[in-house]
Structure 1
Amino acid sequence: MQNTIQIIKKTLNDSIDSTPEKVSIFFKTGIGEYAENDKFIGVTVPTLRKIAKNFVYDCYIEDLDILIRSPINEERLLTLMILIYKYKTSIKEQKEEIYQFYKKNLYYINNWNLVDSSAHLIIGAHLFDKDRSLLEELARSSNLWERRIAIIATLYFIRKYQLKWTFKIAKLLQNDQHDLIHKAVGWMLREAGKKDEIRLVSFLCNYKDKMPKTMLRYAMEKFSTEQKILIKNFSI
């Protein structure tokens, strides 16, 4: 196990194709900001995907249990990419193990790139034909990333033309105070609107006055100027 981890770490360091400053440019890493404690070494996402594919069958859950706890963002992201590839090719029992691993390690899935690349493909995919109450629990969490996981997980449902849970979680999060939740909810509502525009318009007309401006703006991003005016001026 230790040898596998050492090989992965060496592969990552040998694959540095950018700088820590460049790969972390879209994250708030200042003192007191959400990514203050995240470390970057300078490996881009396309390179991480290639590395992940090479370790899908050589890396075990025991290895990933150590890697997911790394302070280095790229190591945690690589862990999640390997998990996603494993989940897609696993049998039912193995999928359950991967899902439970993900739930157990939510604490370390603690940046938006980690959440956005994995929540729908593991949490969303696993709960698609099961009880989804976990999403409501996560949406009510005091932890920013768990709340983001709750809404991003519904992207899997959206792609299967099941929109109910996106709107349900959006309602739970409409009064959230964090900008990263405003953006995530608005993004998922926009995606839901691509499948059913009328349903999105109806939702926004009913809840626009309770939603933060950023959330509403993201949700309406693909609408015409006329549609945006209609929604903003709508009154019950």
Structure 2
Amino acid sequence: MQHPLIKHLRSEMMARRDMVRAEPMAAYMKNIQPFLGIASPVREDIIKSARKVYAIESRDIYRDIIFELWNGEFREEKYMALEVAQRYKSYLNADSFDIYEKLVYDADWWDTLDWLAGKIVGPIVQKHRGFENNLILWRTAENLWTRRAALLTHLKHKKHTNIKLLSETIELLAPETDFFIRKVIGWVLREYSKTDPQWVINFVKSHEKTLSNLSKREALKVVERQKDEK
């Protein structure tokens, strides 16, 4: 029997779909999946209203709802799965890590993966360092997006960043030619440069031959901008 929260969310999404927006949204995401044309503010309004009415009675039900939405026909259902994962705070913790890890392994594009790794998995790993062992496994996964998650999970750790693990992961993935790996290497380094710019400068310099030009350019954006402002 389908949980009433799922029925409500799907009903609201269908009622508020915008097929004029749907086509360009799908095109922007390389037509990875059909879209309903629901803008982020509309989606957020739907989930906020739903939370006031529909409780999730257990972690097992939380898991089932997330997976049911994640496997839906439309891309916005995946987004709604992540909304549920993130907004039902009583289950957003280490005990749900196995749920999120399944999504990391199943991710098929940057839109869902970046949200999942940066906003859901990242804070949990920062609090529970034992999960760094999972990141070590992710970086050799067959799925490109899982490997991307091994880096992106560090994005907002700031002074709590595990520099050793981050360095090892970058060194392992730096030879890859895929744009999304090269881009995220630079992105994570750029973000960490806001905490320790000299470390990032030194890292880029010492890995001059192995980092791609894209990674180096992204990594030093903040550092170079600050230099120009002086």
Alpha-carbon shift at residue 109 of structure 1 (Å): 2.6
| Count, aligned residues | 216
* 2:129 paired with 1:130: yes
* Residue 94 (structure 2) aligns with: 96
Residues 128-172 of structure 1, C-alpha deviations (whole Å, 9 max, x = no match):
2322111111111111110111111112323x5425143332222
Q: Residues of 1 paired with 2:70 and 2:50: CA distance?
A: 15
Alpha-carbon shift at residue 122 of structure 1 (Å): 2.5
Quick check: 2:156–2:191 contact (8 Å CA) kept in 1?
A: no
Which of 23, 26, 29 does residue 28 from structure 2 map onto? 26
- Give the alignment of 1:43-192 within 5 angstroms: 43-56=38-51, 57-59=54-56, 60-61=61-62, 62-86=64-88, 89-90=89-90, 95-128=93-126, 129-131=128-130, 132-158=132-158, 160-164=159-163, 165-192=165-192
Quick check: 1:182–1:212 contact (8 Å CA) kept in 2?
A: yes
Q: Residues of 2 paired with 1:76 and 1:205: CA distance?
A: 40
Q: What is the percentage of aligned positions where both structures have the same residue?
A: 22
Q: Residues of 1 paired with 2:178 and 2:73: CA distance?
A: 23
Alpha-carbon shift at residue 25 of structure 1 (Å): 4.3
Structure 2, unaligned runs of 5 or more:
none
Q: Please report the TM-score for the alignment, with normalisation by the length of structure 1.
A: 0.81
Cα 1:148–1:83 change in 2 (3 A) is same
Q: Please report the TM-score for the alignment, with normalisation by the length of structure 2.
A: 0.82
Quick check: 1:161–1:195 contact (8 Å CA) kept in 2?
A: no
1:105 alignment partner, SS class:
helix
Task: Name the Cα RMSD after superposition.
Answer: 2.5
Structure 1, unaligned runs of 5 or more:
30-34, 229-236
Alpha-carbon shift at residue 223 of structure 1 (Å): 3.2
The one-letter amino acid of 1:28's match is K
Q: Residues of 2 paired with 1:226 and 1:65: CA distance?
A: 44
Cα 1:10–1:163 change in 2 (3 A) is same
